[in-house]
Chains A and B, each alone.
Chain A
């Protein structure tokens, strides 16, 4: 069973479009995260939700909007996609804040 899953694995789209990435965890964790990894492999946190409440919101353009319908899901919606949004986006979850984080397989977003 996959602990943290993301869909889609690959996403290719045109500039200006709106797209969503979905994440689900079956570990029973309370906390979920979104990270962005650029072409130089640098991983940076974007958002964190704890029990469906937003607790970490880094300096991210407001075109990015996370949504957590329940503790097991954290989706990422991106409006008006730009070339610079091209990256690999990782979802992660942890039992609580500060605990070991488990990462999903990533979604490679390519904006043309």
Chain B
């Protein structure tokens, strides 16, 4: 399943499927991005970050892709599990500390 951020803020997938959550940014000078996961009733939690000198960053089940040409990044979760159900935010932390969050995408994983 795939989301398109502002136009589709919810994403429903079956357990075991791969999920793709998208985020568009507007500031071409942005050089650092963070993905946060917010589970129900909890605060946002850091998942992964990527700097603008990279196109891809891979974790255990998580891959971040950054396309600076179109100012777009995506979070790919492989073999999505029910525990992945949460709201996912992309964020730009500029040096001044004023973290700007995207709208967020609600991911629901069905067993």
Contacts and interface: CB of A to CB of B under 8 A. Distances in A.
A56 B98 contact: yes
B104 A97 contact: no
Contacts, number: 59
Nearest to B89: A43
B23 to A, nearest CB: 14
Interface residues of B, number: 23
Nearest to A101: B99
Interface string A12-51: 0000000000000000000101000000011111001010
Contacts of B45: 103
B63 to A, nearest CB: 20
Interface of A: 4, 31, 33, 41-45, 48, 50, 55-56, 90, 92, 94, 96-106
